[in-house]
Amino acid sequence: MISFKIEKGYPLNMGATPLKDGVLFAFECESDDCGLVLKNKKTKDITRIPFGSEHKYGNVYSAIIKYIDYDKFVYRFYADGEEFCDPYSLRVCGNEKFGVKKDNYEIYSEIVKIEENTVSDKKAFIRFEDSVIYLLHVRGFSAHPSSKVNNKGTFSGILQKLDYIKELGITTLEIMPAYEFEEFEKPDEKTALIAKKAETAGENKVNYWGYKEGFYFAPKASYCATNDPINEFKEFVRTLHKNGIELIMQFYFPDRIKQHKIYEVLKFWLINYNVDGFHLKGNRIPFSFIANDPLFGDTKLLYDYIPENEIYDAAFVPSKRNLCSYSDAFMYQMRKVLKGDEDTLKDLVYFTRLYPEKSASVNFITNYYGFTLNDLVSYDRKHNEENGEKNLDGCDYNFSWNCGLEGKTRKSSIVKLRKRMMKDALFLVFSSKGTPLIFAGDEICNTQNGNNNPYCQDNAVSYINWNITEDGKEMLEYTKKLIALRRNDLNSVLNREFSMLDRAHIGFPDLSYHSDEAWRADLATYNRHLGIMYSDFDPKEEIITLHYVAYNFYWKEITFSLPYLPSNVKWEVIFTTGDTVQKEGEKEDSKQGMKFELEARSCAVFKVIFKKSLLNSSKK
């Protein structure tokens, strides 16, 4: 048994902090019976060191263990006879293999020294207006055998597919919880009660997603290819930045996590790992406090709701928007639009025009919770039987449509319709105001076989299958073109305020709405088609640019009459999700111009560029 010298500490840092002549330990505890447990890595010998009242500051116990060779030990704290891993651990041991645990497994905290200010890479703040977000699960992204990467299911696996991500046109990765958490635990009382109601065994399930209380200061060891999570994660961030890609981390904080700790967690990852942003999940997030801290001034902060009035003065408009709302509103409303539900055109108008002045918004039609894009158009109902809860878990209201047949099929008419529906879905995301987001795998028609809640599926159900089918290849090429369209044509058109007036005096308002007839928007509840025209004017070159976006979510083809143009100027189809045919020989007048027929359930973008002088010469 080794005898350790203990001195009074100071609770400036929680957890374990190596000093020149020892280690400072500090933890929160309300019990008088508490202390430190040290375990020798080699001999497995255990030493318990009690902390007394002289080590207590408020509800924090702090002591310095002098002259300890900390590389040889791991530790835990105890209170009232119960041991627990340090919630401020920088590194956790015993949890290195994902989902592979014995019933009596134990985890300990390691004593490590993390050098501050060692992250040398410079991150570039990419405006939300210029961002395309790609949401993924670190393990699920490359764990499938078809990924053909080394170190599957790790940060390294993501980096090995970096060329793919860049070619797709992604600017920002959002990763699901990648801090340390115990994915394998015995069922608690709540889980046991749910299992009893569902008449299941309540077996020990894997928490694949990680939305639970975790060790928020430690990168997840099982997502690492090496035994050095700290430096591996730093290199992961560095490599993303070198390739011009941002990293946004998800953090889930249950209600019991105190707000000051939430702030400490985010500050730690910002300073020590140089991440670009955080998507915060939880009910008690001190969002306004964090957003008002100048330290986070160029850090992207995403949350369900942005309380602008608590952060900014009424007349203040930030020079760059780093706050972003991340809600389900767009997803569910646009799914109704996609299906062709009645009375949805007003929602299409709203979301294609929504542009908060002081904060941004994210648009997505699928996410980790719910159906994948492929399943959204293949299933009317959830199929979560494999979760072991008799299909009682997961959302019952998905606003999906199976296109006429539930599940997989080879029927050509249904396959064709589903492809067009998937293209329309992504088109809605990228043709609307707000930052577009893609759920990883949707661009290659990945499926979860109708499971809309695979939180416990650490297997092929949740993994991306990289054996891309012909339909998947077609969807991938389509997605690349769609992202390029957004960046090259629609980005400048969408990211501005509209007055719906002709302020440039060019004969066209900056924004106008149309239906099958130009200049007449019919938003009747039974209509399912709409035309939106955006105008732009370059006063220096005297050039007018018009974009006309046509949406047809009706089950029959619709003929659109586009606005009349000057002589010798014609609309050009630059993008379409289905067949678009010009109606030759149709009569034009001073309002109704060229006519195009859009295939059922399809969308298209038309464009024209011409000199302003042509307007005068074409007047009769």
Q: How many CB atoms lie within 10 A of CB 329?
A: 15
259-273 and 229-242 are packed helices; what angle lies between their axes, rounded to 10 degrees?
70
CATH superfamily of the 128-494 domain: Glycosidases (3.20.20.80)
pLDDT at position 288: 97
Cα–Cα distance list, 89 to 86, 498, 549 (Å): 5, 50, 52
Query: 450: exposed, middle or buried (C-beta count within 10 Å: 0-12, 13-18, 19+)?
Result: buried
The two tokens of residue 188 are 């608690």
Measure the CA angle with vertex 596, ends 595 and 602; round to 5°: 150
Residues 562-607 pLDDT 10s: 999 987 899 999 999 999 999 876 666 667 889 999 999 999 999 9
Question: What would the CATH number be for the domain defined by 511-617?
Answer: 2.60.40.1180
Q: Which residues of the chain have pLDDT under 50?
A: 620
pLDDT at position 12: 87
Query: 585: exposed, middle or buried (C-beta count within 10 Å: 0-12, 13-18, 19+)?
Result: exposed
Q: What's the rounded Cα separation, in Å, for the pair 596 and 599?
A: 10
Nearest to 510 by CA among 534, 529, 527: 534
Across the strands, what pairs with 77?
A: 36, 84
**What is the CATH topology of the domain spanning 5-84?**
Immunoglobulin-like (2.60.40)
pLDDT at position 620: 46
Q: What's the rounded Cα separation, in Å, for the pair 414 and 384?
A: 23
User: How do strand 34-40 and strand 46-51 relate by DSSP bridges?
Assistant: antiparallel
Residue indicated by tokens 């090995």: 160
pTM to 2 decimal places: 0.95
According to DSSP H, which parts of 122-161 are helical? Answer: 138-142, 155-159
Residue indicated by tokens 């499926």: 447
Nearest to 245 by CA among 369, 147, 121: 121
- Secondary structure element (H or E) that encloses residue 551, with its range: strand 543-552
312 near 358, Cβ under 8 Å? yes
pLDDT at position 122: 78
| Domain boundary assignment for the chain | 5-84, 128-494, 511-617
Please check whether the two domains, 5-84 and 511-617, share a CATH topology: yes
